[in-house]
Structure 1
Amino acid sequence: MEKSGLAEFNVKIVESCLVPPCLPLPRCTLYLSNLDNQPLVRINSNALLVYEGCENALADPAKTIREALSKVLVYYYPLAGRLRKKEDGKLQLECTGEGVLFVEATVDNSLSVLGDLDKLEPSFKKLLFRFPSDTAIEDVHPIVIQVNHFVCGGFVVAVSFQHMVCDGRGIGQFLKGLGEMARGYVKPSIEPVWDRELLKPGNISVHDLESTKEKIETLVWQARTKVLEISHTQNVSISFAVDVKRSFNPPLPNGYYGNGVVAASAQTIAHDVINQPLSYLVNIIKKTKISLTNEYLRSIIDTDRFSSNIYSNQANIILSDWRWLGFDEVDFGSGSPVNISPIYWNENGPNISNGFVFVHSPKRKFDAFKAIAWMPSQEFNLLEIEIKAIINKYLVNGSRC
């Protein structure tokens, strides 16, 4: 939720450097698939991983992570390269071996200044190195890592990655591998697979997609539509990423860290979203997922026809579920993160004004989760009221949904 900043702290950059793989690797140019080049993923994604100080805390987290980074890049060597544009405008990756941008910083406060990351404070931007918005894609590193030391002994690892190079599960796999190398592993437990050629047009066959959980998505869709007071006759939609890695025949191999998702959008009029029972909306979402047939998937990959306007339409809600990406399993030697949060900012503030991200609650409290939204505080307060009312109607009172 966007709110004017109350959490103020100073961040001092100690060192900024490029970390290359610790072994020399051959230079080459790698193919990026149409799924890597789709408009949906031509974005920069950012995450904050929070680690408390404890008895077995790392003496020097930045040094440990930096040394582990040089080792894990031997296996994830494309991430030490740079994106390049082809004549047709599509991207490919040049393995230059230049390295990952690594930043070490200190913070003049304790982790308590962050709270539970429930409020999107402008000061949080200081925890993450960001290239200027007008930086050419060739000059933006695929991965940037900033390690922030807090005076309490805790630290925050901020990760920025180009979604065109790997999807959410892919970056989660990379970070888990980085943590394993920090803990003394000889190699990552899951060996990474590049092999984007597997998704070259004409090379694929697809199984039918499996259905997933829809009730949480439906609840948020209904509540937000009510809060925005959208005209009852207006079309509204809910967009979400569908992982299709296991739907290919044969499935993409274990360790594949390229983009394996496509966007799906369920649509109806605002009146039905607000007034119909949740079961009605769940069925709409299920039918949308079923419509992603093997013929459809083959078609969009072969012909490169992807939706590109989901971020611009305020009547559209975009949902992303980070609970299954593996971020909560990233252990650099002192345990898993106690909190995880996305952070999206441009020069004027949050840049995904119609987005919601589901993450695990801090320290996995009560086996719950939280939804992070980018919207003004007043609207968010109304959203909370609507969500509680819907939960009370369908769960507490035992009504059918």
Structure 2
Amino acid sequence: MSSSSMFNFRVHRCQPELVQPAAPTPHEIKLLSDIDNQECLRFYFPMIFMYHHEPSMTKKDPVKVLRHALSQTLVYYYPFAGRIREGAGGKLMVDCNGEGVMFIEAEADTTLDQFGDSLHPPFPWFQQLLDDDVHGTQQIIDHPILLMQVTRLKCGGFIVSLNINHTISDATGLKQFMNAWAEMARGAHQPSIQPIWHRELLMARNPPHVTCNHREFEQIILPPNTVKKEDATTIVHQSFVFTPAHVAAIRCLVPIHLRQCTAFDLITACFWCCRTKALQLEPNEEVRMIYTVNARSRLNANQSSLVGYYGNCSAFPVAVTSAGNLICGNPLGYAVELIKNAKAQVTEEYMHSLADLSVIKERCIYNTIRSCVVSDMTRAKYENVNFGWGAAVYGGVVKGGAGPLPGATFIVPHKNAKEGLILLITCLPYEDMKRFAEELDKMFGNQNQPTTSGPSFVMSSL
């Protein structure tokens, strides 16, 4: 266990305050899209951004700079300052009333260097920087859409922690908001990309009609009195480092015609196979890989009309097979092919069909039994959010798991991303996590080429 797990520090928080738009904004009701409206997005998603001291900014207080810039940014992103309401049939909307976002000023008795190895997920001390159990529940109705804490550090650096209501934005939309906020903090008079609402792009058709197969919503019926393993054991969160040598080793394990696939596809396939072995399932048991796909480039609408769109525009296609097919007698390329085929399902018609399904079935729930969700956060480049203190040491997700998707796994840049390092952040029951790490070591240990040792635990458990 890393010594960073023993690291303790104290944080003094001021009373929460509401930051409102710096100028009058429209008071109106805005409907969320039927993609935004999905049950699986009704939760707060925690993020963290960590910054070193910047000598040229010594005379500036990050709390004051960020608070002022936030109020200016909310003039353009005024729905963030509103409240989510629920209408007939569970339809969500934003009451753009300008009440504001929740902002907490704080001070910690530590420096950034004292965090040591814990400058990337999972963060065992995150609740000191922002309680991720918002309001004691995951209740999203009638509460601030965005909650944040800016914590000064003794070294002159600071940490921005936030919880965002996922129904209003996906990863791409949040990055757009963060960039706008950072631009205002650096002195801009308006965001370089103007936000657009346009949620009608992903509303259900009239009449709605499902034209695609959405297996991510298929529900598996367990035998009576079955206790899911995660309900009876301790779930731990861990990060695993993949080096360029690891990715190259995985690439050598797949057929030549698949070797042009992305590092994300390769790591995801490796993760799926090793995770399935670790779970010790029966060969005939069905396993699923749910894959997050940003669908913006797949919409036939004029792409320039999507610039500035910050709503949810992601799909979660699923690859389905049996545990036996995945781990017995099939090369890693089998998993890669399943994943690539799942990604290819996402078209504009798929997105409209998904919106229609969410209306017809009302509150569709993703199947989480023997399922895992993997999301690529490397392309969002959250570490590039610059409030004037330079790039973040780390910017992105806090841990594995996400709201109603307890098995969510994220692939993010390592703090040494310039060296090509990638982090896989996941969560599993304790014994399964140990076996998962062993399976990763076996996969890389069997390669007859000079690689570093297989991925290993780099953080303490949460």
Query: Structure 1 length as normaliser, TM-score?
Result: 0.88
Q: Is 1:198 equivalent to 2:201 in the alignment?
A: yes
Report the Cα offset of residue 98 of structure 1. Answer: 0.9
Which residue number corresponds to residue 219 of structure 1?
270
Structure 1 residue runs of 5 or longer lacking an equivalent are none
CA change 1:397–1:229 in 2 (3 A) is: farther
- Per-residue deviation, 1:395: 8.4
Q: Secondary structure at the match of 1:40?
A: helix
Q: Structure 1: how far apart are the matches of 2:448 and 2:13?
A: 49
Distance (Å, rounded) in 1 between the aligned partners of 2:397 and 2:140:
21
SS in 2 for 1:238: strand
Give the secondary-structure state (helix, strand or coil) at the position aligned to 1:34.
Answer: coil
Following superposition, the deviation at residue 362 of structure 1 comes to 0.9
Contact preservation (8 Å) 1:8, 1:113: no
* Offset, 1:2: 12
1:87-140 residue CA offsets vs partner (Å, 9 max, x unmatched): 211210010011111111111222223633456354321101442234643332
From 254, 266, 281, give the equivalent of 2:335: 281
Give the Cα–Cα distance (whole angstroms) in 2 for the partners of residues 394 and 356 of structure 1: 25
Aligned-residue sequence identity (percent) comes to 32
Aligned twin of 1:36: 36
- Residue 187 of structure 1 is matched in structure 2 by 190
| Partner Cα separation in structure 1 for residue 3 and residue 424 of structure 2 | 16
Which residue does the alignment assign to 1:167?
170
Range moving further from structure 2, 104-113 or 123-132: 123-132
Structure 2 unaligned regions, length at least 5: 213-260, 452-462
User: Does the CA-based 8 Å contact 1:2-1:377 persist in structure 2?
Assistant: no
Residue identity opposite 1:127 in structure 2:
L
- Report the AA paired with residue 299 of structure 2: F
The aligned amino acid for 2:372 is: I
CA contact (8 A) 1:143 1:161 kept: yes
Q: Which amino acid aligns with 2:7?
A: A
- Name the residue aligned to 2:215: none
Which residue of 388, 394, 402 maps to 1:333? 388
- Cα 1:119/1:176, change in 2 over 3 Å: closer
Q: What SS does structure 1 have at the residue aligned with 2:32? A: coil
2:216 corresponds in structure 1 to none
Give the corresponding residue for 2:379. Answer: 324
CA, structure 1 residues 177+293, in 2 after alignment: closer, same or farther (shift >3 Å)?
A: closer
- In the alignment, which residue of structure 1 is the partner of 2:251? none
Supply the distance in 2 between the matched residues of 1:122 and 1:351 (Cα, whole angstroms): 21
> In the aligned structure 1, how far is the partner of 2:142 from the partner of 2:79?
15
Letter of the structure 2 residue corresponding to residue 309 of structure 1: Y
* Per-residue CA distance 1:170-224 (angstroms, 9 max, x = gap): 01110111011000011111111111122222389xxx9xx96521210110111
Aligned: 1:94 with 2:103 = no
Q: Which runs of 4+ in 1 moved over 4 A?
A: 1-5, 349-353, 392-395
Q: What do you get for the CA RMSD once the two structures are aligned?
A: 2.9
Distance 1:2 1:235 in 2: 36
Where relative contact order (Cα < 8 A, 6+ residues apart) is larger, the structure is 2
Whole-Å Cα distance in 2 between the matches of residues 344 and 361 of structure 1? Answer: 14
Counterpart in the other structure of 1:308: 365
The separation in 2 between residues aligned to 1:70 and 1:119, in whole angstroms, is: 29
What is the distance in 2 between the residues matched to 1:395 and 1:164? 47
The yes-or-no answer on 1:148 pairing with 2:151 is: yes
Check the 8 A contact 1:109/1:150 in 2, yes or no. Answer: yes
Aligned to 1:73: 74
Per the TM alignment, residue 383 of structure 1 is displaced from its structure 2 partner at its CA by 2.4
Q: Deviations over 1:135-164 (max 9, x none)?
A: 643332111121011212221100110110
Say if 1:3 and 1:119, in contact at 8 Å, map to a contact too: no
